[in-house]
A = this chain, B = another copy of it.
Amino acid sequence: MFIRNCWYVAAWDTEIPAEGLFHRTLLNEPVLLYRDTQGRVVALENRCCHRSAPLHIGRQEGDCVRCLYHGLKFNPSGACVEIPGQEQIPPKTCIKSYPVVERNRLVWIWMGDPARANPDDIVDYFWHDSPEWRMKPGYIHYQANYKLIVDNLLDFTHLAWVHPTTLGTDSAASLKPVIERDTTGTGKLTITRWYLNDDMSNLHKGVAKFEGKADRWQIYQWSPPALLRMDTGSAPTGTGAPEGRRVPEAVQFRHTSIQTPETETTSHYWFCQARNFDLDDEALTEKIYQGVVVAFEEDRTMIEAQQKILSQVPDRPMVPIAADAGLNQGRWLLDRLLKAENGGTAP
């Protein structure tokens, strides 16, 4: 069971070609994605209402898609506009159409009540398409429930253990984050960690234009269902970063980590790591991207192994530790939303 009334990511813009049919399972539902003749993304149930044939082995015809089993044709709103050999088209001859918004190079989809879909609620990822930032989009398929990935992202303790040579530093295990819950009711968490006069991670060292100790920051903004924005960087110690001043030689990144459930035990994961320096250095873009990929494979190895144990021994209790503050708040928010959508009967 999944939260439905929220904006999920369905794809990077480049995953959906200018012509032709793309498909993906989201929240256990088969979804068809394609671009109409204006280039706008259309998201439909990937299942003909007639006999359940998948539409992705059908054919795009202008703004519409035709099922290539018996020829029913559907428009972007899911209405059937042609039934071969039949004049009348009963209104129930339709498939689900999902609200879609293309923004910041992401294709956002609303899987819940369409009347509640408000594009203003979409989280801003300006660094994906701002001329002042540069990134390379990434995607990972996960053999694990998306909440295990959320746990991982809202936790800092694991940096020292899972990523000792990539993201982690010795201090990562012991420094307590500051966690703030947004008071406006949107359920957003802000988690802030400052490592003052500390070593940089290897990832930062590799691109920094200074040496020695740094004031490092990790400022997470997380929103349900699984949307992470991160402002992270390192500045030379004592140059005022904690007070809000970011000197030119500071290493600054904006990071994106977004998950959408595929099934109860598999997930989609979109990510990128943007920078605001050396924008035209393509080798650097690739180096940063590969650095993230290496670190994220470290996470994936652990999380998929964790999912296997949870599937094998599903009923053993989990024992909380002090470092769980971030992930506990995330889980609490997800449970609350799921419960709210299901009349208080959800777990």
CA separation between A306 and B317, bound complex, in Å? 37
Tell me if A158 is interfacial: C-beta within 8 Å of chain B: yes
Q: Please report which residues of chain A, range 166-217, place their CB below 8 angstroms from some CB of chain B when the two chains form the complex.
A: 173-176
Binds B, one of A84-92, A121-129, A135-143, A251-259: A84-92
A59 to chain B: closest residue by CB: B161
- Does B69 lie within 8 Å of A161, measured CB to CB? yes
Nearest chain B CB to A295 CB, angstrom units: 14
A55 to chain B: closest residue by CB: B309
A84 to chain B: closest residue by CB: B173
CA separation between A158 and B49, bound complex, in Å? 15
- Does B318 lie within 8 Å of A50, measured CB to CB? yes
| A155, A160, A309 interface centre (most CB from chain B within 10 Å) | A309
- Does B173 lie within 8 Å of A321, measured CB to CB? no
Tell me if A70 is interfacial: C-beta within 8 Å of chain B: yes
A85 CB contact (under 8 Å) in B72, B305, B319, B322: B322
- Does B157 lie within 8 Å of A313, measured CB to CB? no
Supposing A51-B151, A306-B52 touch, asked if A69 and B319 sit within 8 A by C-beta, the answer is no
Tell me if A16 is interfacial: C-beta within 8 Å of chain B: no
Tell me if A116 is interfacial: C-beta within 8 Å of chain B: no
CA separation between A196 and B252, bound complex, in Å? 75
Tell me if A242 is interfacial: C-beta within 8 Å of chain B: no
Binds B, one of A22-30, A35-43, A273-281, A338-346: A22-30
- Does B161 lie within 8 Å of A312, measured CB to CB? no
Which residues on the B side are within 8 Å of A306 (C-beta)?
51-54, 69
CA separation between A320 and B93, bound complex, in Å? 8
Tell me if A302 is interfacial: C-beta within 8 Å of chain B: yes
Tell me if A247 is interfacial: C-beta within 8 Å of chain B: no
A70 to chain B: closest residue by CB: B157
Which residues on the B side are within 8 Å of A20 (C-beta)?
none
- Does A302 lie within 8 Å of B68, measured CB to CB? yes
Which residues on the B side are within 8 Å of A309 (C-beta)?
30, 46-47, 52-54
CA separation between A301 and B160, bound complex, in Å? 48
Which residues on the B side are within 8 Å of A176 (C-beta)?
85
CA separation between A175 and B309, bound complex, in Å? 48
CA separation between A157 and B72, bound complex, in Å? 10
Tell me if A81 is interfacial: C-beta within 8 Å of chain B: no
CA separation between A161 and B157, bound complex, in Å? 57
- Does B50 lie within 8 Å of A85, measured CB to CB? no
Which residues on the B side are within 8 Å of A158 (C-beta)?
69-71
Which residues on the B side are within 8 Å of A321 (C-beta)?
50, 70, 72, 83, 85-86, 93
Tell me if A57 is interfacial: C-beta within 8 Å of chain B: yes
A319 CB contact (under 8 Å) in B93, B174, B317: B93
- Having A69-B161, A71-B173, one finds 7 other A-B pairs with CB under 8 Å, namely A28-B312, A30-B312, A50-B319, A50-B321, A51-B318, A54-B305, A86-B323
CB pairs A–B below 8 angstroms (15 shown): A28-B312, A47-B309, A50-B321, A51-B151, A52-B316, A69-B161, A70-B155, A70-B158, A71-B158, A71-B161, A71-B173, A84-B157, A85-B157, A86-B321, A93-B319
